[in-house]
Chains A and B, each alone.
Chain A
Amino acid sequence: MSAGSDPRPAPVGAFEAALANLTDDTLAKVRRAFHAALHRGDAVHLEACVHCGLCAESCHYARVDDEKQSLPAYKLDLIASVYRRDRSWLGRVAPHWVGARDLDADTVREWVDALFGRCTMCGRCMVNCTIGIDVPTLVRAARSALAAAGLVPPELQATVDRALTSGNNMGISRDEWVETVRWLEDELRAELDDPSVRMPLDEPNATFLYTVNPREPKFFPLSLMAAAQIFHQAGERWTLSSDNFDLTNYGFFSGDDGAAATIAARLVASARELRTGTIVLGECGHGFAASRWHGPSWMGAAPDVTYRSVLEIVCEYIRDGRIVLDPTRSSKRFTLHDPCNLVRLGGIVEEPRTILSAAVTDFVEMTPNREQNFCCGGGGGQLSMTRFAKRRLAAGRVKADQIRSTGAAVVASPCHNCVDQLTELSKEYQLGVSVKTLCEIVADAMVR
């Protein structure tokens, strides 16, 4: 299959109508919002590209098609050319000479198609750029400008809206969440034959507040149960919040700083309310990066809480002997997927490896890995933007090839969005692998 044959998404609905009939007011709004979205230091990156084109192979989109719109340099230039038009002398007097362009209707439409539909903001092009241009940050600035004018693809916007109105991106009600936790607690007690196992809700003064991707209670309860089992075995004092449990933040992907701030602030409010100084973020790449690295800027101040990944916590349990693992329980071959926002852009590089090495006997790294990993294709909000699904699956071929060459039967993925994409890739490319989170793998290997 080839994304090269992928036509632009068919224009239907109000969003497409708005894109087709962009007014001068809307264009002016996008332009103002773009310049306003640039923070200190961003302009340096907009001025630096030399158009060497060496970034091409770094992008999973560009690897599977030969469309110019998939080239990282092209996507970057869509943004930088607008900046040059407004902020450089030659860009103003001789725009053609320096490749400067107006932020006109065609450019805005191309921004939507390329910056939402051909980029996961994974940062692999940045790491391999001759200069180190921070493409993900610039793409997000452009997405912010589109968001300010209401030009976010509606499926992604709906995910943000659902999180804002219901408190989580899956629209799970408080009662449903509490009921699910109680049910899982009963299940866990029965499974472990241990009535002392707890999944605490709203316990004050716990060591940490544990937060999850809402896909866990909705579709992957085993993942949440696995984490609870690990915390129980480690003798941890932890809690869930019945009000705010969703660690995801799709405002990160849509570019809406206001929504992102609101969502990020909820977890902080619950942590304060429960008088705990630490928020532990479950297995979710963008959720980790959103709270850990971007939250302070969105909220306007660094909150008085510490953010930690659950992988850091589990790694410490293993190191300190608080949990003991028997790696011989599974004879299968495992490989590890590095979620971009957790690893390349998040810094949780070695912890997943330490954990997986302790939990299984046959762990094979993908090539390349760590900060050079390839995006699975599900990041950047792609999973919610169904209009770009065909491209997403085509771009995922790079990851599928990586997985296949390891000969692994199980792919460990410390991110629920990646789990979804990898599961789809397994079907699409007939990989025949199962995909598990690291907590699930640890729980399976845990000696009780």
Chain B
Amino acid sequence: MGILRTLAGLAFLVSIAALAWQARRALSQGPPRVEAPPRGRARDGVAYAFGRGMSPWAKESARLHPAVYLAGVLYHLGIFTSIGVVGLAVAGAPWLDRVSVVVAPLLALSAVAGIGLLARRVATPGIRTVSSPDDYASNLAATLLIVAALVSMASDGPAPSLLVVATLVFLYAPLGKIRHCVFFFLARAGFGRLLGRRGVLPGVAHGARP
């Protein structure tokens, strides 16, 4: 177990370093635009983008597909929770039953959501069209991580399979679609900043709305 813990911990650090390097490279690529004087505040737009703008009623895409929205939220909650479980395993922290009682059902729901999203990708022609093998593999890998965390939660302690899966997922993350764990935040901030400066978004636009 000791070597597996070490490997998972190292893989996590490698992943973080690679993702940080990629983010830095992407952020610094190309010349900066000369910006026009703002009409609204960028920070209001960023606050909207990560606040109200994430709500299902703010986006038509979420309103029209509430089940997909909910599955997406559950899936990502499960992924981050699983990473937390891996963290506990790597740190050798004790497995607490009262934590498992809360976390295990969440992970179970999350795994179902992950499988559901994968099924949707397979079954929907429009999405299949834009999907590459990496899209399927990334979904499977993250779902496997959730399942491994769930199995560990149901055990007396971290299962070796959790650490093996986590190591592989961490190492793959900077290479494929899982990179969006970083680029989501950067792009979302860019979106908020752009429309915040232009005074476009609700609550940021000039003049009160009825």
Identify the A interface with B (CB < 8 A).
Answer: 38-58, 68, 71, 73-74, 77, 88-90, 96-99, 126-134, 292-297, 299-302, 306-307, 343-347, 349-351, 354, 368, 370-372
CA separation between A129 and B65, bound complex, in Å? 13
CA separation between A39 and B202, bound complex, in Å? 27
CB distance from B202 to the nearest CB of A (A): 7
Cross-chain contact A40 with B126 (CB below 8 angstroms): no
B3 CB–A CB distance under 8 Å: no
16 inter-chain pairs at a CB distance below 8 angstroms, sorted by A residue, are A40-B31, A41-B190, A47-B26, A47-B179, A51-B135, A74-B130, A128-B59, A131-B180, A132-B192, A133-B187, A293-B36, A297-B36, A300-B34, A350-B207, A371-B202, A372-B60
CA separation between A131 and B31, bound complex, in Å? 23
Inside 8 A of A344's CB, which chain B residues have their CB?
A: 200
Nearest opposing residue in chain B for A343, CB measure = B200
CB distance from A247 to the nearest CB of B (A): 15
CB distance from B177 to the nearest CB of A (A): 6
Nearest opposing residue in chain A for B179, CB measure = A47
Nearest opposing residue in chain B for A77, CB measure = B130
Interface centre among A54, A351, A372 (most CB of B within 10 A): A54
* Other contacts beyond A47-B22, A132-B191, A371-B200: 11, CB < 8 A: A40-B32, A44-B183, A44-B186, A48-B183, A74-B129, A97-B176, A132-B190, A134-B191, A301-B34, A350-B208, A370-B209
Cross-chain contact A54 with B132 (CB below 8 angstroms): no
Inside 8 A of A52's CB, which chain B residues have their CB?
A: 68, 72, 127
CB distance from B125 to the nearest CB of A (A): 8
B40 CB–A CB distance under 8 Å: yes
Inside 8 A of B59's CB, which chain A residues have their CB?
A: 127-128, 130
Partner of B199, one of A134, A349, A368: A349
CA separation between A297 and B37, bound complex, in Å? 11
Partner of A53, one of B28, B130, B132: B130
What's the tally of chain B residues with a CB closer than 8 Å to chain A? 65
CA separation between A57 and B127, bound complex, in Å? 13
Inside 8 A of B43's CB, which chain A residues have their CB?
A: none
Nearest opposing residue in chain B for A74, CB measure = B130
CB distance from B149 to the nearest CB of A (A): 21
Cross-chain contact B134 with A97 (CB below 8 angstroms): yes
> Given A47-B26, A302-B34, A350-B205, do A293 and B198 touch, yes or no (CB 8 Å)?
yes
Interface centre among A48, A89, A129, A372 (most CB of B within 10 A): A48
Cross-chain contact A47 with B200 (CB below 8 angstroms): no
CA separation between A128 and B61, bound complex, in Å? 6
Nearest opposing residue in chain A for B64, CB measure = A57
B27 CB–A CB distance under 8 Å: yes
Cross-chain contact B206 with A40 (CB below 8 angstroms): no
Partner of A39, one of B30, B129, B137, B175: B30
Cross-chain contact B187 with A132 (CB below 8 angstroms): yes
CB contacts between A and B, total, < 8 Å: 200
Cross-chain contact A132 with B207 (CB below 8 angstroms): no
Nearest opposing residue in chain A for B210, CB measure = A353
Task: Find residues 5-59 in chain B having any chain A CB closer than 8 Å to their own CB.
Answer: 22-23, 25-37, 39-40, 49, 53, 59
CB distance from B85 to the nearest CB of A (A): 23
Cross-chain contact A54 with B65 (CB below 8 angstroms): yes
CB distance from B93 to the nearest CB of A (A): 32
Nearest opposing residue in chain A for B129, CB measure = A68
Inside 8 A of A71's CB, which chain B residues have their CB?
A: 126, 129-130
Partner of B34, one of A56, A96, A128, A297: A297
Cross-chain contact B190 with A44 (CB below 8 angstroms): yes
CB distance from B10 to the nearest CB of A (A): 19
Nearest opposing residue in chain A for B32, CB measure = A40
Nearest opposing residue in chain B for A88, CB measure = B175
Cross-chain contact B127 with A347 (CB below 8 angstroms): no
Cross-chain contact B187 with A48 (CB below 8 angstroms): yes
Nearest opposing residue in chain A for B28, CB measure = A40
Inside 8 A of B68's CB, which chain A residues have their CB?
A: 52, 54
Interface centre among B30, B53, B188, B206 (most CB of A within 10 A): B30
Contact with A along B52-80 (1 / 0, CB 8 A): 01000001111011001000100000000
CA separation between A43 and B23, bound complex, in Å? 9
Contact with A along B158-169 (1 / 0, CB 8 A): 000000000000
CA separation between A90 and B179, bound complex, in Å? 12
Cross-chain contact B198 with A345 (CB below 8 angstroms): yes
Inside 8 A of B53's CB, which chain A residues have their CB?
A: 132
Nearest opposing residue in chain A for B178, CB measure = A50
CA separation between A354 and B208, bound complex, in Å? 10
CA separation between A349 and B203, bound complex, in Å? 11
CB distance from B24 to the nearest CB of A (A): 11
Partner of B187, one of A45, A88, A351: A45
Partner of B27, one of A44, A97, A306, A372: A44
Inside 8 A of B90's CB, which chain A residues have their CB?
A: none
CB distance from A239 to the nearest CB of B (A): 23
Partner of B30, one of A42, A129, A130, A351: A42
Cross-chain contact B35 with A58 (CB below 8 angstroms): no
Inside 8 A of B60's CB, which chain A residues have their CB?
A: 57-58, 128, 368, 372
10 closest A-B pairs by beta carbon, nearest first, are: A132-B191, A99-B132, A350-B207, A54-B61, A53-B127, A347-B199, A48-B187, A43-B26, A48-B183, A347-B198
Cross-chain contact B126 with A56 (CB below 8 angstroms): yes
CA separation between A42 and B190, bound complex, in Å? 9
Cross-chain contact A50 with B34 (CB below 8 angstroms): no
Inside 8 A of A73's CB, which chain B residues have their CB?
A: 126-127, 130
Inside 8 A of A44's CB, which chain B residues have their CB?
A: 23, 26-27, 183, 186-187, 190
Inside 8 A of A296's CB, which chain B residues have their CB?
A: 34-36
Cross-chain contact B187 with A39 (CB below 8 angstroms): no
CA separation between A294 and B31, bound complex, in Å? 15
Inside 8 A of B206's CB, which chain A residues have their CB?
A: 347, 349-351
B201 CB–A CB distance under 8 Å: yes
Task: Find residues 140-176 in chain B having any chain A CB closer than 8 Å to their own CB.
Answer: 175-176
Cross-chain contact A349 with B191 (CB below 8 angstroms): no
> Given A48-B184, A57-B60, A296-B36, do A43 and B200 touch, yes or no (CB 8 Å)?
no
